Amino acid sequence: MKWSLILELARALMFARGKQTIVAAIGVTFSITMFISLLGFMNGLNTLLDGLVINRTPHIRFYNQIKPNPNQPLDISDEFGTGINVIRSIKPSNSRLAIYNSDPILETLTQDSRVKGVSAKIASQVFYNVGNIDLTGVVNGIDPEKETELFAFQDYVTVGNPADLLQTNSIILGKGAADRMLADIGDVIQVTTAKGNKAQLKVVGYYQSGLAEFDNTNSFASINTVQKMMGEPSSYLTDIQVKLHDFNQAPAFAREYRDIFEIEADDIQTVNAQFETGSSIRTLISYAVGITLLVVSGFGIYNILNMMIYEKLDTIAILKAIGFNSSDVKRIFITIALSIGIIGGAFGLLMGYLACLGIERIPFETEALPTVKTYPVDFNIKYYLTGGIFSLVTTYLAGFFPARKASSVDPVDIIRGK
């Protein structure tokens, strides 16, 4: 049978039950709209939350870890070497936090084709001297240009400019630390290192990450300023941070260079595994809810087609009596279902996109996230492709079973019954 005739009959049957057809299409539209907006908002939120930590975390961090010497004199003694020795209260060996041969290590990492960028860092424990009170904190010695390039440092500097750190004896305070010290821009604060060295530093900006515990203790200065403050040479570094072109290579890269450099190496997957797990679970929940909505709308189409078949049994009998075979009847009702899915799905994709645009423009301002002004939304095209394909699959299955029932109608029994 010609497809033009099948399409015409499908259109006639759809308009014969216009209200039910519209309701079914609205159900598909609503499901797709909620599917797109839910996934867009949830994954935008995932990106924001992960960015608070993961985007500012190096793919690999090299450092020296202070730990007890595994080779104790008792174990290598001829008298006790063959026994089972239990040693309590082992103290760390006399080693320093600084990375040995930092310059050759930096050069080697920079020349590796897998590396996107390398940034050196110094973490110095200090006391912020506020009158008669000493507040514990950490001053991080950084290269402002590298931190901005690799870790979006400027996005979290709410007041001031990261380049101001290049001035001698300048510091960008964590917002929480600045509030506790009542330190304004241009003020000079005093810090004392763990070795007792005192330094006067000028406040040139505020840093706010959105993590209150971090902002209450951490501040930033240039590497040269921190080396001078600690009384260390220009080669003194405590951390080397690496960004890769493909962060999935981080575990293998860390193991490789840990053995070469003989220092500790942490990779991003190990350090931040909980964030990736949380994102995966939230995304899974979003897909589950969206697919459930589509399945529910599919049941609506199934019920409407079933009712249409019962009401149009005489029409089906006449069609088969005048030459339509079972396959033609099946195609008619599947065409009806797919038409509802295509029309409803198209409007759903459009409404989902508009809903995401609306969500993106809703104000969202909080002191914990000063750089965020509206709700985050992800407009990834894969959500639209997934929603469109799934709507067609759902409506096809919803129409297949009623269509199979319609194709099995015996026209003799229907006409005899009439």
Concatenating the DSSP letter of every residue in 327-389 gives HHHHHHHHHHHHHHHHHHHHHHHHHHHHHHHHHHTSB--BTTBTT--B------HHHHHHHHH
Tens digit of pLDDT for each residue in 84-119?
A: 767 666 665 555 678 888 888 999 999 999 999 999
What is the full per-residue pLDDT of the chain (418 aa) written as tens digits?
577 777 777 788 777 777 777 887 887 888 888 888 888 888 888 777 776 666 778 889 998 876 666 666 666 666 666 667 676 666 655 556 788 888 889 999 999 999 999 999 998 999 998 878 888 999 999 999 999 888 888 888 888 899 899 888 899 999 889 988 888 999 999 999 988 889 999 999 999 877 778 888 999 999 999 999 988 888 899 999 999 988 788 888 988 998 888 888 888 877 776 666 666 777 777 778 777 777 776 777 677 767 766 666 677 777 777 777 778 778 887 888 888 888 888 998 999 999 999 998 888 876 666 667 888 898 989 888 888 888 788 878 877 777 777 777 666 665 665 5
Encode burial over 250-262: b for 16+ CB neighbours within 10 A, e otherwise.
bbebbeebbeebe
What is the C-alpha separation between 367 and 394, in angstroms, rounded? 44
CB 132 within 8 A of CB 347: no
Cα–Cα separations (whole angstroms), residue 23 to 11, 14, 134, 296, 300: 16, 12, 69, 13, 9
